[in-house]
Structure 1
Amino acid sequence: MSDILPFLKSIISVAGLSGHEAPVADLIEKQWTPLVDEISRSKLGSLHGLKKGTPSKGISKPEKAPRPSVLIATHMDAIGLMVTRIVDGFLYITNIGGIDHRVLPGTPVTVHATGSGEDLYGVIVMPPGSLLPEGKGEGAVNLKYLMVDTGLLPADVSKRVRVGDRVSFNTEPVEMSGGLVSGHNLDNRASVAALTVCLEELQSKSHMWDVWALASVQEEVTYAGAYTSVFQLRPTIAVALDMTFGTGAGASGYQTFPLGKGLTLGIGPSVHPFLHKRMKEVAERVEIPVKDEAMPEMSSTDADAMQLTAEGIPTVVVSIPQRYMHTPVEVVALKDIQRAGRLLAEFIASLEEDFLTRIVWD
C-alpha cells in the first residue's frame, strides 16, 4: 500500500473553501488522472473520475447495456471565513460553513485579497474584553467581535481587500505521535485521500461494476455537488465517505469513536440497510474493524442529498473518526485513512454483476 501522507499534506495545505474549490480540485485531478479511465468536472466544479469495470466471463449482455456503477462521494470543500466589513484596517468576518469560534483567536489565516489578486497573511484577533459590550467579553468571544489583522496600514488594506473576500486557515500539517496527523481541512480531505487509496488498490483488483470517484463541492453549505453530480451520473448505488466525531478530551460518549481503532458504518434513514449489511460483511471478511454509528435523523453527509436524487439512490455511509471537528487543528489517524480506502476497494470488488437484483429494504 502506497504512502498517502504526502498527498494528504498537499491537499490540506490549500484553501478550496465551499464555492471556491478549484485550488484543491487541481491537486486531486492530477493525482486521480493516472488511476481512472476518464476524468471531468461538473458545471459546478465537482470532480468526476470514472474507473471502468470488467464484466465477468460467461454473462452475456446487450452490447450497449449500461454497466452498473457505484459512486464514492468525498467532498473536497472546506469551511472558512468571509470578510463582512473593514474598519480601521481590521477585517470583520463571518463563517462559511460551521466553525467552532472558541478556538479562533490567535489562528493564522490567509486572506484571499481580490483587490490586489494576492494572498495576505493574517491572524485572527479579538479586542480586550473590557471594550466589548457588557457580558460579551467573558468566556469564548462571539465570531462577530473577532477580526483579522494583516499588519497593513488601513489605506493599504482598503486597496487590497474587498467585502466578500475569503479567509482560509493557514495552519501547517503536523505529523503527531502515534500515527496521527493534525491540520485544517481534514474534514473531508482525509476521505479524499482514502478514496485515492481505494483507486490505487483497484489497479490490481478485478471489479465488475464501474466506479465513479466523486470529489464534490459545497457539502459544508448546501450539498450542491452531491445533488447535481449524482443527478448527472445516475449511479446504481452510492457510498458517502466522511468524518465522524473522534473520542478525545471531554468527548467519550456513544457519539464518539476512538482514533486508530477503525471506521464507522451509519445506521439511519439515509442509509440503505442492505448496503450496510454488505459493507459490514466485507469489513469482517478482510478484518477491518467497524462500529455501527446511530444516525437517527440526517447523516449530515452527502448521503442525505444522494439518496433523494432522481428516483432515489441506495446509499451507505462510511466514516473516519476525527478529533476537533471544524477547527484549524483537526486530528485523524493515518491507519484509519488506509483502512477506509481498502474497505471501499474490497466492497467494490465484492459487487456481483447481478447484485442490484438482490437489494431489498428490510
Structure 2
Amino acid sequence: MDKNSEEFLYKYLNNASPTGFESSGQQIWLDYIKPYIHDYISDTYGTMVGVVNPDAPYKVVIEAHADEISWFVNYISSDGYIYVIRNGGSDHQIAPSKRVNIHTKDGIVKGIFGWPAIHVRDRVKEETPSLKNLFIDCGCASKEEVEAKGIHVGSVVTFDDELMELNDKYYVGRALDNRIGGFIIAQALKRISENNIELPFGLYVVNAVQEEIGLRGAEMIARRIKPDVAIITDVCHDTYSPMYDKKTQGEQKAGNGPVLTYGPAVQNNLLNMIIEVAESKNIPFQRSAASRMTGTDTDAFAYSDIGVASALISTPLKYMHTTVETAHKDDVENVSNLIYEFLVQLKSGHDFRYIK
C-alpha cells in the first residue's frame, strides 16, 4: 500500500461518523477520490457518490456504507450522570470502562462509561450492563455543569478508540463495519484511474449513510441513480472465532478471501460472473447463504425501482460491533481486487435477466 492510501485509511477510519452525523467522514472520503472521478453527487442526508462517465446510459454501482454505531444522550441526571440510548446496534455489554467522545457543536467532550467496582456489587444478584444502568461520567457534579459543556439530549457519543495493526496481518479498530468497505471501493476506483482504464459505462462509487438503522441511505440513493448493476460491500462474521456455531452461522474465516453471498436479493447471473472473475484471476473466495434478506445495502439496491441486479461481496470480520473489529489485510486487498477485476471485464449494456 502506498503512503497516500495508508494515510487515507487511518484518517478515514479514525474519524467519527455516527449514523446521521457522517458528514466529516464523507468529506475525507470525497477529498481522497476526487482525483479519480469526473463528478460527484451529494444528497440531502449525506450519501456521497463519485461518478466516472456521468453521461453514460448504462450505470454500475460499487457501494459501501459510511456510518458507525454510536449512542445518543437520552437523560442527564441532577448530579451530572448521562444516560444513553442506542444509535444503531451498539453493544451495551462492552460499554463499561470504555472512554467516549461526546460530540457537541463546540467540539469533543471527553467522558467514560463508569461501572461499580467488583468489590461492592451484589454477588448473588449481580447486575449485568444494560441500557437501564449504563451511565457516562464526564467529570461534572450537576446537570447544569454538563449542559454548560454543550451536552444536551440528542448529543451523539462514540467510543474513543483508533485503528491499530495486529501481528502485521490485521487491521483492528471500531467502525471497520463498514468504513473498511469505503476504503476498499476507493482503492478499486484509484486503480482504475491509475491504470488508465476507459470504462464503457457510468461508474457510481457510492458511500451511503444510515445503513446501521435500516439501509436508509442506500434506499434513497438507489432510487436517485437507478443503476443497472450494483456491487455492494459490507462485512460478515468470522465464524472461526470462539463462540460461533458454523452449523447455524456459516463457515467464513478472516484471511481466506472475500465472502460471496447467495440469497434472494442476490442476482445469480451477476453472482456467477463474479465467481468466474475470481476463479480466472486466482482470487480466493468463500461462500455464504442468507435466509430471506442479506441485512445489507444489497437489499435496498436489489428491490429499488424496478429491481437492480445486485450482489454482495463481504470482508470477514472478527468481533463485529465492538471497538476491536478485526479484518485481515489480505481480505481487504482481495475484495478490492475482485471488484476491480469485475469492473474491467464488464461490458456496457450487459443484460443479467434470467429469461430474455
Q: Which residue of 2 aligns with 1:60?
A: none
TM-score by length of 1: 0.90
Equivalence for 1:360? 354
TM-score (norm 2): 0.91
Partner of 2:115: 126
Aligned to 1:105: 96
Once the two structures are superposed, the pairs formed by residues 121-160 of structure 1 within 5 Å of their partners are 121-127=110-116, 137-138=126-127, 140-154=128-142, 155-160=144-149
CA–CA separation in structure 2 for the residues paired with 1:212 and 1:167: 31
Equivalence for 1:59: none
Alignment partner of 2:243 out of 242, 250, 271? 250
Q: Where do 5+ consecutive residues of structure 2 fail to align?
A: none
Q: Which amino acid counterpart does residue 143 of structure 1 have in structure 2?
A: L
Cα distance in 1 for partners of 2:168, 2:326 equals 11
Task: Go from structure 1 to structure 2 and tell me whether the alpha carbon gap of 1:194 and 1:149 turns closer, same or farther (over 3 Å shift).
Answer: same
The whole-number CA distance in structure 1 between the counterparts of 2:275 and 2:174 is: 30
The equivalences for 1:22-171 within 5 A come to 22-52=23-53, 66-87=56-77, 88-114=79-105, 117-127=106-116, 137-138=126-127, 140-154=128-142, 155-160=144-149, 161-171=151-161
Give the unaligned 5+ runs of structure 1.
54-63
Secondary structure of 2:132's counterpart equals helix
Q: CA–CA distance in 1 between the matches of 2:123 and 2:21?
A: 38
Identity %: 26
Q: How many pairs align?
A: 347
Amino acid at match of 1:141: P
> Would the alpha carbon gap of residues 252 and 200 (structure 1) be closer, same or farther in structure 2, given more than 3 Å must change?
farther
Q: Pick which of 104-113 and 199-208 moved more.
A: 199-208
Pairing 1:284–2:273 present: no
Q: Is the 8 A contact 1:94 1:144 kept in 2?
A: no
Distance 2:119 2:73 in 1: 24
> Which one of the candidate residues 329, 334, 342 is aligned to 1:347?
342
Q: Compare 122-131 and 25-34 and name the one that shifted more.
A: 122-131
Query: Following TM superposition, where does structure 1 have runs of at least 4 consecutive aligned residues deviating by more than 4 angstroms?
Result: 128-136
What do residues 262-309 of structure 1 show as CA deviations (whole Å, max 9, x unaligned)?
010110011000111001110111111111111121101001111111
Give, as a single letter, the amino acid of the residue that structure 2 aligns with 1:352: K
Query: Could you tell me which residue of structure 1 aligns to residue 16 of structure 2?
Result: 15
2:269 alignment partner in structure 1: 274
Post-superposition offset of 1:260: 1.5
Residues 176, 98 of structure 1: CA spacing in aligned structure 2 closer, same or farther, 3 A cutoff? same
Change (3 A) 1:325 1:38: same
Q: Give the aligned CA root-mean-square deviation in angstroms.
A: 2.2
- Matches of 2:132 and 2:299 in 1, distance apart? 30
